[in-house]
Structure 1
Amino acid sequence: MSYRCIYIRRADKMNLRDNNLVVRNDEREVIVPLEDIAMILLEDNCSLLTAKLISSLSSYYIGLIICDDKYMPVSLTLPLHMHYKQLRVFHMQLDVKKPFNSQLWFRIVKQKIINQRRVIEMTTKDEYAIDRLLECEKELKSNDKTNREALAAKYFFSGLYGSLFIRKRKSEDEINAALNYGYTILMANMSRILAMYGFNTIIGIHHISESNNFNLSCDLMEPFRPMIDLVIYQNINNLSYPLTKDIKKELIEVLTKPVRINNKNYLIQYAMEEMVLSYIKALENENSEYLLLPSLLDEENVSVGDDIL
């Protein structure tokens, strides 16, 4: 089972050797077995990559994230048509009825709000934000018709980062840049897993943007987003723009943080796979209750003896 997320700041050349990733620069050569890698984040846009390597990354379902001149993730490569029941999965996605998607979205948003409230309880303990998030959770309706998700986000970000904070997807302030970076890591890993199980990520549950190739990934990653917010809050005093190497490393390593899903503790990268497998089961049985959703853990209360898969 792949588990490593490789962060590459500078590489003169990346190629394949005996099913290993080989990264070379003037200083050294690093070799990593492809079977160990879940995802690669490449910051150096001057690196040379061989076509054979890119092809092999897809064969191993390894997501490759490429950054722009500002070192922000802008591109993701995923395998095409690798699942043995690709057409069956595609028809299963197309056959989903709107009421069923509404039920799924209700459950996803509810767990996201619960996790947001848990983050506030673990950090600022802002009573106003906690109370408002509880209200949003109770007032949530099928398909989130009253848009409690957006209202909850307003209370959540204000309670966590202060009343002056404004969430922007395109911004160069340090908090928004860190959020954008971290959310992209979550989206990329979820997309990698969905591709592995034959899903077309354009066909979402709630997100339906014609310009978004990752609607389904954005849907299923929602309950995991608060984990990024928690890590950013924990490093708030060390944030700067552009983001530092250490902050990027912290955000990439979020995938190795534990959450609770299916009554077991999993690292996020494996919890996402459990969620996708449960999504398949929910589609096959037309029952939204089969969808497994992650709960945040207080890491201080996870002892060494706990099983974390």
Structure 2
Amino acid sequence: MIKRTIYIGNPSYLKMKQKQLVVQDPETKGIKGTVPVEDIALLMLDHFQITISNQLLMKLQGNNVAVISCDQHHLPFGLMLPMVGHSEYSERIKYQLAASEPLKKQLWKQTVEQKIKNQKALLDLNNKFSDPLEEYKSTVKSGDTTNREGIAAQFYWKQLFENFSRERYGVEPNNLLNFGYAVLRSIVARAIVSSGMLPVLGIFHRNKYNPYCLADDIMEPYRPFVDKLVYNYVVSNNNYELDKEAKAHILTMATQDVSINGLVRPLFVAVTTTTASLYKCFTGELRQIKYPELD
């Protein structure tokens, strides 16, 4: 079953009734909609006048739903996940903690290679020059010690958008990309928890102030799927505003089809395939992380 992304952008009271998320108007008390909690993957709260019951929060956490709260700029600000997302949690953490540095360096090499491969595929899809990316991908070393990821990214952004520099607080469409990446990060963090691992322990990212280092690692090959959504949106609509229409388009990322492990699956399901394969790499059952192919 394909899980749903629910976006709440108006004053609302959210409660639970008969295992359903109920959206109620706080003034008229009228019911604006209901959704089975078990159908939800991600709930985004994008208004200061949203009230949510603790009973509903507990039910959402029990179903491993990622609850995202947005700030005054309407960008994802906070993420709530259950503390335990797998029945073998302590056992799985032991394998994650025991992963050797050589293994993590090889896993990061695979991650960078697939990210560059997907970046090239997106450029090819839009008839843009991509030849150098093949060379960058083929020369990634263990641990990416020569920073092929960064070199490839500099080239990629110059080709994808005209006169564009990818910066967190840069000009448009950085605003759309930031929103998309924040949502993607939440989806990946949720999958990591559901696979019984700690999102704070990365294979490459190690910033002591970052509680989602592993999510930032694993999301890298998925970023071009966000880029694809943003690129198609701005080209089709000539709109760079992060309005409700743009958010609705970007939030479809969870259900967009991707190719992974020889199958076509919604991105939301593919991410869980990736995190499950990562755990098997930690245990020695697999030697390769399963990442999606952009086509």
Q: Does 1:253 align with 2:252?
A: yes
Distance of 1:10 and 1:194 partners within structure 2: 30
Query: What one-letter code is carried by the residue in structure 1 that aligns with 2:128?
Result: D
Paired residues of 2:195 and 2:272 also in contact (CA < 8 A): no
Q: CA RMSD in A?
A: 1.5
SS in 2 for 1:40: strand
SS in 2 for 1:14: strand
SS in 1 for 2:291: coil
Correspondence for 1:278? 277
Distance of 2:44 and 2:119 partners within structure 1: 27
Paired residues of 1:42 and 1:64 also in contact (CA < 8 A): yes
Following superposition, the deviation at residue 296 of structure 1 comes to 0.9
Correspondence for 2:75? 72
Paired residues of 1:223 and 1:294 also in contact (CA < 8 A): yes
- Residues 42-96 of structure 1 show CA distances to partners (whole Å, capped at 9, x for unaligned) of 1112211111111111001000111011111111100012422221111111101
Q: Does 1:219 align with 2:222?
A: no
Query: What one-letter code is carried by the residue in structure 1 that aligns with 2:165?
Result: I
The 5 A counterparts of 1:83-162 are 83-123=86-126, 125-127=127-129, 130-162=130-162
Correspondence for 1:307? none
Match for residue 199 of structure 1 among 197, 200, 225? 197
Following superposition, the deviation at residue 239 of structure 1 comes to 5.7
Query: What one-letter code is carried by the residue in structure 2 that aligns with 1:138?
Result: S
Q: Does 1:6 align with 2:14?
A: no
Structure 1: where are the runs of 5+ without partners?
Answer: 298-309
Query: What one-letter code is carried by the residue in structure 2 that aligns with 1:272?
Result: V
Distance of 2:218 and 2:59 partners within structure 1: 27
Correspondence for 1:295? 293
Distance of 2:8 and 2:238 partners within structure 1: 20
SS in 2 for 1:23: strand
Distance of 1:197 and 1:117 partners within structure 2: 30
Q: Give the TM-score of the pair, scaled to structure 2.
A: 0.94
Aligned length: 291
Paired residues of 1:5 and 1:252 also in contact (CA < 8 A): yes
- Residues 271-297 of structure 1 show CA distances to partners (whole Å, capped at 9, x for unaligned) of 1111111112111116432x2111012
SS in 2 for 1:6: strand
Distance of 1:80 and 1:88 partners within structure 2: 15
Structure 2: where are the runs of 5+ without partners?
Answer: none
Following superposition, the deviation at residue 260 of structure 1 comes to 0.9
Paired residues of 1:202 and 1:214 also in contact (CA < 8 A): yes
Distance of 2:21 and 2:194 partners within structure 1: 20
- Residues 94-134 of structure 1 show CA distances to partners (whole Å, capped at 9, x for unaligned) of 101000001001111101000000000011x232xx12211
SS in 2 for 1:249: helix
Distance of 2:119 and 2:220 partners within structure 1: 11
Q: Which moved more, 1:71-80 or 1:16-25?
A: 16-25
Following superposition, the deviation at residue 12 of structure 1 comes to 2.2
Following superposition, the deviation at residue 235 of structure 1 comes to 1.4
Q: Which moved more, 1:59-68 or 1:272-281?
A: 272-281
Correspondence for 1:40? 43
Distance of 2:31 and 2:245 partners within structure 1: 21
- Residues 202-242 of structure 1 show CA distances to partners (whole Å, capped at 9, x for unaligned) of 00011111111111111111111001111111111436564
Following superposition, the deviation at residue 36 of structure 1 comes to 0.6
Distance of 2:54 and 2:87 partners within structure 1: 24
Runs of 4+ in structure 1 deviating by more than 4 angstroms, as ranges, are 239-242
Distance of 2:240 and 2:138 partners within structure 1: 38
Q: Give the TM-score of the pair, scaled to structure 1.
A: 0.90
Distance of 1:48 and 1:42 partners within structure 2: 10
Paired residues of 1:201 and 1:213 also in contact (CA < 8 A): yes
Q: Which moved more, 1:134-143 or 1:31-40?
A: 134-143
Match for residue 232 of structure 1 among 230, 233, 236? 230
Distance of 1:274 and 1:200 partners within structure 2: 16
Distance of 1:282 and 1:13 partners within structure 2: 43
Distance of 2:2 and 2:264 partners within structure 1: 18
Distance of 1:280 and 1:20 partners within structure 2: 32
Paired residues of 1:239 and 1:247 also in contact (CA < 8 A): no
